[in-house]
Each structure stands twice: as structure tokens, then as C-alpha cells.
Structure 1
């Protein structure tokens, strides 16, 4: 049975990969609708021939790697179970110590290391590919450092989560998912609170905006929007990427508005102010807290479904998976695989909410700045810097786009400008 499950799982992954490849490279329509040709949203207007070609190539390969990576992770966890590696990890852990917490730590380091090694080739391909298209400027040593930081941060958090999770499973086989969710609420809020000051600085250097004249203008906008802000932060991302970005992070007193230095270097002052107004909208409309609420709701549903699916999988395929009970830490790869599947399935729904919030933020920003030309040029430069498709394939938009497409964003700005022009004439 184990060989049969493994064979058909690998076969399904290969077929899935070919279908995704065919869809992205031959089946998907990324052409601009006729009515938008010649407008500011038409990439032939603001990108030259080489940039258009690179944008299409880069987007297709990047999207292919995305759709291959997550299911590959599921396959890795499944093979760990089918080949008895999870059982071996537990045996090695028990042979190393008689203390339960240390056993969990040793089991988890083996599992994490094996998963890291198995998925490393795809991660490296993604990095190398991004570098070849001049999106990434990061050296291999710097990239590898970030990968290792990721590994140890994830390991540390997983050690806490897994230790508590399996203690709860042993105490309450039926309701562990509910107790785990209740404990996840303060844990999630704590991580979000400390992330800007403890975790983010491990990857990059953050400091108050150096351009004090620009900072004054941004803070004046913040005051107009009733946002209590003393600083705008910039981060030295030019050492790692040529892409542009700005974002809001953290909660409470640790919340920050952050600008990448690439954004500061490549955009005009009016364009930066438009981006800042967009980020301020997330604060004004409390999108961060809405997002936390949505995440907690999804995690509740996800933990409940994970509990049900784990019991079903062990009852029907326990022998092949070499599992007899959910309480055994050997079931962790099964839990991680199911949770990853549920997150993947939920992406389209969370992206719908996110795209709505981002559209609201765009509307807020254009109304605050009343500068359609700066907004349009901002989106055009974002497309050029990131080699983003203006109109991505539908499947890519559904699963990957937490923001409206550039076609949708620029079209909205054009409509706003036209509306304002008509109002002024009247």
C-alpha cells in the first residue's frame, strides 16, 4: 500500500506540473483587452520591447516555481511518512534523551533538516532565476545567511508550538484543536508585536528616513489622517533586490510604516507620497486588525479540519503511513502536510479580501494626494522594476495576487482622473 500511494502521488505531481506548465506557457491569456490598448495601463506604452519580453518570461517561470513548490512540500512530508523516516527520527530522539522536551527538539531538528535539504534545490533555483533576471542583487552568501536565519527562527517557533500542541493532543484527543487555537491567539499577537523590533532586523538594517524634508511631508500627511507617527522607517533592500516596496508592519506601539531604499532611489517625491498615503490607508481603515481577525478565524477552521482529516487518514491509511494514533509525534509530517494543503486552498479567499483592502487603500491614496499622474507612474515603475505582468493569468491572480492587478489599479486611477476632470469642467 505504501509503495502504491507513493507511486501515484509522484505520478500525480508530475502530471500536475505538466498541466501547470502548459497553462502558464501556452493556455493562459495575458493580452490587454482591446479597450485598454493605448492607455496608460497598456505595457507597450511604458515598457520597451526587451522589458516586455523579460516581463513575460520572468512572470511565467516565477509563477511556475510557485505552483510547483507548495505541492512539492506536501510530497516531501508524505515520503517522510511512507519511507518510515518519521519513525526513525522519533527512535533517534528517544535514544538520545529520556526527557520529553529534548526528544521533541531532536525529532524536530531531524524533520526540519530533512525538509530543508529536500526543498533546497527549488529554493536555490528560485534565487538563481531571480538573480539572472536582475531582480535579486543578493550574493549567494547573503542569500544563504537569510535561509539559515529562516531555518532557525522557524525551528525555534516550531519547537514551542509542537511541544504545546502534542501535549494538548495527549490531554484531549477530541478538543485539542480548540485549545490549540485559543493558545494561538496571544502567541500570534505577541509575534506580530515583536516582529518589527526583534525579527525583521535580523535580515536587514532599519533606520528613520534619512531625507528629513520628505519625512516632514509624510508626517504631515499622517497628522492629517490622525495617525500618531513620529518616524517613517527605511530599510536597505538595495543590497538584495531591485524591486520596489513599502509596507505597514507590527501592531500597537511597535507598528511601523517602512519604505525600501530602492523605492526611495527610483521614485519621485510625488510617487513616494502616493505610496505613503496608500500605506496610511491600511492604518486608518484598520486593515491590519481585520487581517488578524481573519487569520484567527481561518486558523480555527484549519485546526478543526486538520484534526478531522488526521483522524480520517490514520483510520484509513495508518498502516501505510506507519501511524497508529494522532498523539504520536510521528504524525507531525501528516499535520504539516494537511495544514499546508488547507492554507493553499484558502489562498484564493484570503486574496479576495486582501485585494479589496488594497483597492480601498488605492482609492484613499488618490483621494488624499489628488495626483493621478503620480499614481499612474508609480504603478508603471513598480511593474518595470519587478517585471510584473500588467494582466496576469486568471489562475495566477486567484492564488498569488494579494493586490489588484496593475491593469485594474491603473484603470481605476484613470477613471478617477477622468471623473475629476469632468467635475472641474462643470
Structure 2
């Protein structure tokens, strides 16, 4: 009797990637690591340009020419700042989020389509961001030196609010979500939903190919608005029922274990700590940026200063935030293995994600830069599970054709 070797099985899965595919994934991933630094530098440069323009200070002075109007100033200055930031960072955003994806074959979306969605996103961010800025500066004025504690709570409340409304009001603006149709795929997902205690009316397929060729699925929302969504790319890349069960089982793990709430709690703590450091570093940052017409931290004209400090802190906190996310991804994988018991299906799906996430990084690289465990480590855990948990029944190798085309792929 041959003993199943998880290490050898993992190596066999990784060997299904050609040397060219692996090299391209490594180049894309390493370039993404550098983008973290360049993005932070771009944010600092944009903050400096906005400060040097003097527009926010002039706008504040005009609004307060007759009497103090702190809420109005916070709103108007905040909105203008957000719009200026969008315009100034647009060239970089085009390179980072569209041109580079296009160059690596990860999107077929035309630039006009990307720009349209970027403008829509900027509009939404300006509305909600403007209101959030008003609330933040209200807390700074009202609570004084402890504003950073209240600011952390505000960040958490904002995250919960967006989790609630995003699947209902925002995501449908960018993609079409269709309930999984009757057939083998839906039957498999419903069976798994009943087994895990997940609502079986919250399973969708969406036209993710509109923006990206990435093989992906996600869980979004909270409480009654939560749903599991699979990109149609999964099926254009030949997902079989074992893959569907493995991937959807992972997403159900996020839902059942309420990972979004755990991350929200971590967000509150990290935001409060970041606001505390911003409060202490604000005078130094003003000096380094050459600010002359901006008052104390309660002055909304100082928003670019806060943003510059936040960019640096965000870069430094990358290993912390990535570790938090990796931990819940490990838990979701384990949930899938326990409830779906599709180690080969999950591994097959994971290999398809290696095109945008190099499969075998060093331990240090994974710790610092990866917000998901590496494909190699995830497949190895799946194979270790397989070694001790035999699959109950083999899944069909492919889903019937009518079940994998509920959403038409848009023309490029």
C-alpha cells in the first residue's frame, strides 16, 4: 500500500504551473511589493503639492471671513481635498490599477471602462469621505487630546456601515449579481450552505470578468446583507464542482466565523493607534512639509499633513495588517476542508490564483508582503488534511454547461 506524501503531492500541484507562468507571477508579485513604497511616496508628494498650492487655506479663510463655521469648513475643505487628491493621483492610479494589470494579462477592461468606474468610485468616496471628515474634525474639536480614541471608534463605525450597505447600494453599481441558477453547481452550494448554517439565498455569480481575469470569489456584507459571490472567471477557467465546493466553503467560513467583525475590531485598535501617532507627529510633519498657513490639528486645511503621516504609518504597518488578514484566511481554508472536504478541489483553485500571487515566497517575504498565505503553504495544508481525511465521495470533474454561464461575459 502506497503512503500518501503531502509534500510530494504539494510539489506535484506546483509543477502544474509552467516555468513561464511561475516567472511571470514572481515578477508581478515582486513589482507589487515595490508599489507599496511608491504609493506611499506618491501620497506624500500629493500632500505636499496640495499644501503648496494654498487652496485649502484660502478656502478656509474665505468660509470663515465673517464668523467661524467649523462644520461647513470641514465639509467643503474635505471635499475639495478629496477631489484634488483624486485628480493628482490619477496618472499613478492608471498605471498601478489598469496599465500594469493589462501588461500582465490580468484584465481586458478598456481604459475608458476603467476611468468610468474610477470616477464613480471617486464620487462615492467623496460623499462618504466628506461626511467622515466632518465627523472626525468634530471629534477633534470636542474631545481634545483624547480625540484619537474616539477616532478609532468612528473608523470602526464607518467600516460596519460600509459592510452593511456595500452589497446593496455600491457593488451593484459596478457589477451584475445573479443568483446561482438551478443545476449541479447550485445544488452543491445549497447542500454546503445547509451543512454550514449559511443562508442558501445569498449565493451569487457576478461578471467579475468585466474588470479582471483573476480567478476569485468573495464574501461581503454583514448580517442580512451578507452574501457569497463567485466571479464568472471561475467558470470560464473551468471550475469543476470540487473547486466550487472548496472555494465556496472557504467563503462560507468567512461568513460563519464573522471574520468581517473580527477585522473591524482590529481596525478600531489600529485606527486609534494610528490617530494617536498622527496627533503626536503632526507638528513635526508640518515642519518637514514646509507648512506655514495651517493651524493646529483641528484645522481642516491640515488634512494633507494627516494624509502624509497616514501614508507612512500605513506602509510601516503592512506586516501587521497582512498578518491579521492571513490568520483569517487560514481559518477559512480550514473551515472549507472541514465542511467541504475537497482538498484537491481547493488546491486546484488555489493554483489558478498563482498568476497574481507568486506561489512560493520566502518566509520573510510572506510575513511582510502577503495578505493571504502563499499558495504553496495553502496547498500543503490541504494535502496534509487529505492524508488524514479521505474524501467521502468523488465530485464530478466538471459542472454542466448551463450552470456556469449565468452571467454573460461583457465584450472588451
Q: Same fold (TM over 0.5)?
A: yes
Q: What runs of 5+ residues in structure 2 fail to find an aligned partner?
A: 391-412
Query: Could you tell me which residue of structure 1 aligns to residue 261 of structure 2?
Result: 289
Give how far 1:286 is off.
Answer: 2.5
Q: Aligned equivalents of 2:289 and 2:83: distance in 1?
A: 24
Normalization by structure 2: what TM-score?
Answer: 0.83
Aligned length: 384
> CA 1:68–1:42 in 2, change beyond 3 Å: closer, same or farther?
farther
Q: Which has the higher helix share?
A: 1
> CA 1:251–1:96 in 2, change beyond 3 Å: closer, same or farther?
farther
Give SS of 2:228's match: strand
1:61 to 18, 24, 31: 31
> CA 1:227–1:335 in 2, change beyond 3 Å: closer, same or farther?
same
Q: What runs of 5+ residues in structure 1 fail to find an aligned partner?
A: 1-34, 422-426
2:134 to 152, 157, 163: 163
> CA 1:418–1:130 in 2, change beyond 3 Å: closer, same or farther?
same
Name the Cα RMSD after superposition: 2.9
Contact 2:294 2:301 in 1 (8 A): yes
Query: Could you tell me which residue of structure 2 aligns to residue 140 of structure 1?
Result: 111
1:401 to 370, 376, 380: 370
Give how far 1:405 is off.
Answer: 0.3
Structure number with higher relative contact order (C-alpha < 8 Å, ≥ 6 residues apart): 2
Normalization by structure 1: what TM-score?
Answer: 0.81
Give SS of 1:175's match: helix
Contact 1:89 1:110 in 2 (8 A): no
Could you list the per-position Cα deviations for residues 149-199 of structure 1 after superposition, in whole angstroms to 9, with x for gaps in the alignment?
A: 121111111211112222332334323333333444444322211111011
Give how far 1:261 is off.
Answer: 0.9
1:261 to 229, 232, 248: 232
Which shifted more, 186-195 or 272-281? 186-195
Q: Aligned equivalents of 2:338 and 2:348: distance in 1?
A: 16
Q: Aligned equivalents of 1:319 and 1:241: distance in 2?
A: 41
Query: Could you tell me which residue of structure 1 aligns to residue 60 of structure 2?
Result: 90
Q: Aligned equivalents of 2:6 and 2:53: distance in 1?
A: 54
Could you list the per-position Cα deviations for residues 204-240 of structure 1 after superposition, in whole angstroms to 9, with x for gaps in the alignment?
A: 1112113543222212111111223323011111122
Give how far 1:362 is off.
Answer: 1.3
Contact 1:197 1:254 in 2 (8 A): yes
Structure 2 residue 184 is matched with structure 1 residue 213:
yes
Query: Could you tell me which residue of structure 2 aligns to residue 275 of structure 1?
Result: 247
1:217-256 equivalences under 5 Å are 217-256=188-227
Could you list the per-position Cα deviations for residues 341-363 of structure 1 after superposition, in whole angstroms to 9, with x for gaps in the alignment?
A: 32332231122122122112212
